[in-house]
Structure 1
Amino acid sequence: MDLACLVDPRRDAVRRTPGRNGLDYVEVGDHDAPTLYAWFLGKLPPELQVNQPGLEQYLALAGGDRITGLRILDVDPQVADDPGRDDYLVITLDRTGDFSTYTLSLVGVANIDPRYASADFHFKVCCPAEVDCKGSCACPQPELDEPQANYLAKDYASFRQLLFDRLAVTMPGWTERHVPDLGVTLVEILAYVGDYLSYYQDAVATEAYIGTARQRISMRRHARLVDYRMHEGCNARAWVQLQVSGQLELPSAQTAFITGLNVPDSLRQPMMAIEAVDRLPAGSYEFFEPLPSQPPGTLMLLPAHNSIAFYTWGRRECCLLAGATSATLLDQWIVTGGDGDAEGTLTRALALQVGDVLVFEEVIGAKTGNPDDADPSRRWAVRLTSVEASEDSLYPQVVQEGADSVATPVVEIAWAVDDALPFPLCLSTLGAAPDCAYLVGISVARGNILLVDHGRTLPPEPLPPVPGVTDAGCCDCEGQPRDVSTQAGRYRPTLAQAPLLFAQPLPQPPGAAAQSLTQDPRAAVPALALIDSDGQAWTPQADLLASVADDRDCVAEIDNEGVAHLRFGDGELGRAPTVDSSFSASYRIGGGTAGNVGAEAISVLVLSDFSVSGVTVTVRNPLPAFGGIAPEPIDDARMFAPLAFRQQIERAITAADYAEIAGRNPLLQRAAAQLAWTGSWYEADVALDPLGGAPSSPELLQAVAGQLYRYRRMGHDLHILPGVRVPLTLSLDVCALPGYERGHVKAALLARFGTGLLPGGQRAFFHPDALSFGESVFLSQVIAAAQAVPGVQCVQVTAFHRCFEPARHEIDDGVLPLAANEIAQLENDPDHPERGQLSIRVAGGR
C-alpha cells in the first residue's frame, strides 16, 4: 500500500496485545558472512522460540534485481532473559544481495498481524552517502497559483494599475473605476500599502551602504566597522569665579549657573531658585553645572580669594614674563579673639591649596590706570602645583592699632609648564604723561574658581519595561506539546528629552588648567546613568564589540532628530535585559556649540533646595567658555570613514612604521628606525629624540619598547636606543654695518644660533626641538639665519664640521650630512665643550 505516515500507533498496539506479534525491522550484518537480524515486536512466536532444524520453512525471502533467489541456510532464535526486551532471529544466507529492495516474510506463523507479516530491507544500507537518509514529508504543501510579479511596479500609481490588471483577469465582469466604489477603495488602500512597503524596501537598501546611508545611526555603525568613530560632539567648559562678601559653604550638587538674562541690570538677579529658572523661556539662557570635584561635596568660598594682589618684594615696575611658572601673592593677617588690651591670634586670610585654580587678570589699564582700559586678553588660568606660606620681615605691616608691626605674609605659588603664561603680565608700571603716576595692582589673581560645563541634569526618567515574546512551541507528540517559553523582545527605548549631552571625563587627578577646557569629541561619552529594577547599574559604551555576555553595557545612538535610542546586548555581546525588567535613566541634556559663550556671560547663581542669606555672591566667568563641538555631520563621516584605517598604522612592517608608531609617545619629538640583519633575522633599531633635548631615560626606553611590542612584525626583534647627538663646530666671521654696535650684533647672533627661544616665541637655530633625526645642516641655512640678524652686512663661515673630527669638505659641499639616527647639537656651553662649540668674530660697525 502506497501509504506514508509520520506516526504509527499500531506498532505499539500490536506490542501491547497478548498473543499478537509481527516483524519490527530487519538489520543487515557483515558482508563476508551474509547475516540478517530480524527483530520482532516483543517475544518470538512459539514456532520460532526453539532452535531446531526446519525453522527456514517459516521464513520467505523475495526481491532483488540482478541477484535473486537468495536461500536461507540457517535460523538461530535469540531469546532475551529480560521480559521487557525484544527477541530476534539470526538468519544466515548463502550470499548478499544487490542495491534493490528485499522483503523478509513470515510464513505459517500464527497470530501475526498482517501489517507486520513482512519487512523490507536493503543490503547496501551501510554504504556511504552524501544525502540525508531521512525521507521527505509525506504530504507536501500544494503549490500556489501565484500571479507573475511585475517588478517594475514601485510606486502608488503602478501598484494601482497592477491591481486593476489582475482583477480584469480574475473578475472580468467587474469594470467599476469610480473612486467612491468600495472595490476601488480597497484597491487604492492596497496600492498605498504596497507603495509604503516599496519605500521601506528602498530605504533599507539605501541604509545598507556607507555611500548611500542617510540615517545617522546607520552611518555610525558603518563607520565603526572600518575603525572610524563618528562623534556626537561634546559640551563646553568654563572657569567661573564666585566673589563673596563673607565665608560661604556652597553644596556643589545643589548649585548651577546660567548666562545673564536679557533684562536691564537693575532687574537682574545674581541668585535665583531653580523653580524660577524653570519659568523662564528655554531659549533665553544657557545652563551650566559644576564638574564633579575630588572629593565631591561642599565648595568653600572665602572673601580673601576674590582678588589677590601679587607681591614683588619691594621691587617696582615689575611684570611676570611670558613662560612664567611661579609667582608670589600677598597675604593678609586676620586678628581673631582678643579683648581690650589683649592681643588676638593672627591667622592668614588665604587658604590656597595644591590643585586650586587661579585666574590671572589685568584689572586696570597699564598706561591710564582706568579699569575700562584693562586688556581683556590678559587673562590666564593656572592650576597650582605648589603652595608655600612665607613671610617678608624687611617690609613689616601693622595689623592691629597699638600693636607692633609683624612680617608681611606672602604665599609662594607655582604651576605646571603646561600652564605657563603665554604673554607677559604687567604688575606695576609708570602711567602716561603728564602725571607719570606709579601704578600698582595692574593685575591680580582671582580665587574661588570653579570649573563648570554646559548642560543640565534632569530628574530620573522611567523607561518602558522590556517586552516579552512568547513562543507557543509545537507538538512533540500527540497530546505532548513543548514547554511555552518567553524571551525578551526587541527593546530600543528612547529618551524623552534631547539632545543627550556628550563629554569627555576629567582625568583624575585633574591636570593643568589649560588642558581642562580641551576635549576630544571621539573620547566623549554620554552623560547617562541607567539603573534597572534590581538596582544594578548599566554602563554606556561606544559600542558592544568588546562586551561579553555578563557585561551590563548599553549604547546610546543619536538619530537625525537628535533623539537618543538605547541599544542593549543580545546575550553574547553584552548582557540582554530580562523580560518585564524596567530601567530608570538619569541623564543630562545640552552640549554642542551653544555653550561657547563669551567672557562675563555667566552671571547668575542657581540654587536647588538651598538658600544663601547674609552673604552677597557675584558670579562671572573671566574667560570665555571653550570646547563645545557640534555632532559630526553625516557627510563628513561618509568622506573620512573609508580612509580612516589607512591613516592609523596598526602593524609595524617597515622601518618607517616603527618610527611612526614610536613617535606617538607624547614625550618624544620624533623617532627614527632601521631594520638591521643579524645573520638569522631582522632587528628593528629604534632611536628616540625626546622633547626639549632631554636624555632618554630608562623608563622612557622601556615604555616605548612596550608600546612597540604589540605592533611589531613576527620574527622582528626590538632594540630601543637613544638618538646619537652629533656636536658641531661652527665659526663665523661677521662684518657689521656702520652705526651698529659690534657687541650688540654679536649678542644677537649668539641668541640666533643658541638653544633657547627668541623674542616672539621663535626657536633658535640649534634649539633641541628645531632639529631632529637625519636633518643635515646646510651652509646656506646658517648664512641666511646670520644675515637675518639686524646689523649684519656679510658673513663668512670659517669652520663647519663635527667636533673633535677633521673637516671633510663640508664648507665646499655646502652641507654637513647626518645619518638617519643622528641629531645635530650645538649648545656652546663652556662647561661642556663636548656638546658643540660656536665662535663668532664681529668686525666693522662701531
Structure 2
Amino acid sequence: MAELPRPELRFDGGCPDCGGRRVRMPEPPPAIPDDLDWRTRDFEGFRAMMLADLARRFPERGDWNPADLEVVLVEVLATQLDWLSDMHDRVMAEATLESARRPASVDALLRMIGFDAAEHRQLSREALYRLWRARPDLLDADRAEGPRRIRRQERAVTLEDHAATLVAHPLVEQAHAWSRWTGAWERIEVAVICWNGEPLDQPLPAVAPPELARRLSRFLDEQGAEWRPPFGEAPSVRRVLRDYLEARRLAGQEVVLRDAAAVGIVLGLRVTVADEHFRSEVEAAVRRVLGDGPAGLFHPGRLAFGEDLYASDFYQALMALAGVRDVCLTRFKRAGRRYPDESRSGRIALSGLEFPVCDGDPARPARGHLRLDLKGGLRG
C-alpha cells in the first residue's frame, strides 16, 4: 500500500494567523496501454506482456537477458500472477455445480436446490465427503441426480397429471379425471378405486396391513417424504388423499374426489378336484385366485374403468391351478334380480366408471358373492 502524503503547515505573508496546510500528492501511476490483454491467465502470457512493456518504455535497451534484475522481477511477478489466476479460477469453479470439485462445495450447492446427498445415501456428512473423495464417480452421480430431482414434474396441471398423481399413491389402484363446468369455474373431478376397493369415506384400519405397509414405505422412500398416514387416528381414505393432493394441485384449482362405481358380481363355480389332491388345499387356491389380493381376478387395479369382465379369464386362471381337473361356470351375473345370467355369453358388460367386485360379505350383498361347489379329490 502507498504511504499517505504528509501535510505541511505553511504561513504565507509573515502573518502568524494566516497558516495553511499543503499536501503534495504522489505522482499518478503510468497509464495502462490500450493493447493490454485482460484475458492473459498464465505465466508465459504475463511474462511476455511485461517484457513487451519494458521494451516499449526503455527502447534504448536493445537486449534483455534472463540475468537482468528487471527480467528476474518480471518472472517473479509473472509467477505470482499465475498463482493468483489459478486461485481465482478455482474459487470461481466452486461457485457452480457443474465445475465444483470440493465435496463441501458440491454438497452445499446440492442442498441449495433441495437435494440432500447425505440423506439420499443415508450417511453422515463427514462419511459422505470421505466416500466422494474415494469414489469421484459417486460424486458425479449425485451431482447429476440433484438437478434431475428438481426438474421432475410434481405439480398436477392437466387431467392426466391429476390421475397419475393419485395412482402413484399406494392407497389408490385406479383413477380417472375429468373437467366439469360449475357455472362459475372449471372443477376437476377424479374417480378413485382405493387399494381394497372400499369407498373413499371408509376409515383406514388402526394398523396397516403388511402389503400396504410395504407399499407405503417404498413410496415414501422414493418421494423423500416424512409424512405417514395417521392409522392410529383412523382417518378416511378421502382425508389422506386430499392432504396428499393439496400439495400438488394448482393454486385456485378445485379438485373433488369421487368414488368409482363398484359393480357386485355373483359367481357360481363347480370345480372338480383331481383324485390325488386334497379338496381343502384346492379350495384355498381357488378362493385366492378369485379374491381381491394382488394376484386375484377381482383385484381393484386389474381392470381399467368400464372394462368388460370375461368368463374366459376365470377358466384360464383356475385350470392353471394344480389339482383342478375341470371347471364349470354355473352363475355369472351382476348382483340384483333385474340382471340376467351371463354364464352362456361369458361376458358381463361394464361401462363408464364401473369396476367389478365380489366381496362375499353377507352384510353387503350388493357387492357380490361367490358360490363354490367342489367335487372329487381327497377329504382333509
2:283 alignment partner in structure 1: 746
Q: Which runs of 5+ in 1 are unaligned?
A: 1-140, 237-453, 456-498, 503-557, 563-629, 757-761
CA contact (8 A) 1:233 1:632 kept: no
C-alpha spacing 1:211/1:709, structure 2 compared with 1 (3 Å): same
The one-letter code matched in structure 2 to 1:229 is F
Tell me, yes or no, if structure 1 residue 649 matches structure 2 residue 154.
yes
Matched, 1:774 2:305: yes
Q: Verify: 1:202 aligned to 2:202, yes or no.
A: no
Q: Which residue of 2 aligns with 1:158?
A: 45
Percent identity over the alignment?
A: 26
Structure 1 position 171 matched with structure 2 position 61: no
Q: Which residue of 1 aligns with 2:225?
A: none
State whether residues 754 and 828 of structure 1, in contact with CA within 8 Å, keep that contact through their aligned partners in structure 2.
Answer: no
Which position in structure 1 is the counterpart of 2:144?
639
Q: Which residue of 1 aligns with 2:117?
A: 231
In the alignment, what sits opposite 1:806?
339
2:118 match: secondary structure:
coil
Rg (Cα) greater in structure: 1
Per the TM alignment, residue 676 of structure 1 is displaced from its structure 2 partner at its CA by: 2.2
Are the structure 2 counterparts of residues 794 and 162 from structure 1 closer, same or farther at C-alpha, using a change threshold of 3 Å? farther
- The one-character-per-residue Cα deviations of 1:363-415 (angstroms, maximum 9, x if unpaired) are xxxxxxxxxxxxxxxxxxxxxxxxxxxxxxxxxxxxxxxxxxxxxxxxxxxxx
* Residue 678 (1) aligns with residue 182 (2): yes
- Describe how 1:42-191 pairs up with structure 2 within 5 A: 144-150=31-37, 153-172=40-59, 173=61, 175-178=63-66, 181-191=68-78
Number of positions where the alignment pairs a residue of Structure 1 with one of Structure 2: 314
Structure 2 gaps, min length 5: 1-27, 203-234
CA shift for structure 1 position 727: 1.6
In structure 2, what is the equivalent of residue 793 of structure 1?
325
720 and 747 in structure 1: CA distance in 2 versus 1, 3 angstrom threshold: closer
Q: Between Structure 1 and Structure 2, which shows a larger proportion of helix residues?
A: 2
1:717 is the counterpart of 2:222: no
Deviation digits for residues 520-571 of structure 1 (CA, Å, limit 9, x no counterpart): xxxxxxxxxxxxxxxxxxxxxxxxxxxxxxxxxxxxxx79988xxxxxxxxx
Q: 2:172·2:193 contact (CA, 8 Å) conserved in 1?
A: yes
1:730 pairs with one of 253, 267, 271: 267
Residue aligned with 1:232, SS: helix
1:696 aligned residue (189, 196, 200): 200
Letter in 1 for 2:90: A
Per-residue CA deviation, residues 99-119 of structure 1 (Å, 9 max, x unaligned), is xxxxxxxxxxxxxxxxxxxxx
TM-score, normalised with respect to structure 1:
0.32
User: Does the CA-based 8 Å contact 2:331-2:342 persist in structure 1?
Assistant: no
Match of 1:824 among 345, 356, 361: 356
Which whole-Å CA distance do the structure 1 matches of 2:77 and 2:331 have between them?
Answer: 94
Partner SS for 1:739: strand
Q: TM-score, length-normalised on structure 2?
A: 0.63
1:321 alignment counterpart: none
* TM-fit CA distance, 1:790: 0.8
Q: Which has the higher contact order (CA 8 A, sep 6+)?
A: 2
How far is 1:782 from its partner? Answer: 2.8
The answer to whether the Cα contact below 8 Å between 2:318 and 2:324 also exists between their aligned partners in 1 is yes
Residue aligned with 1:144, SS:
coil
Q: 2: CA distance between counterparts of 1:825 and 1:736?
A: 26
Equivalence map 1:286-301=2 (5 Å):
none
Hey, what's the Cα distance between the residues in 1 that align with 2:360 and 2:132? 63
Q: Distance in 1 between matches of 2:178 and 2:189?
A: 5
Task: Measure, in 1, the Cα distance between the counterparts of 2:311 and 2:325.
Answer: 17
- 1:671 is displaced (CA, Å) by 4.6
CA distance in 2, matches of 1:231, 1:561: 11
How far apart are 1:825 and its partner, in Å?
Answer: 1.6
8 Å CA contact retained: 1:771, 1:823: no
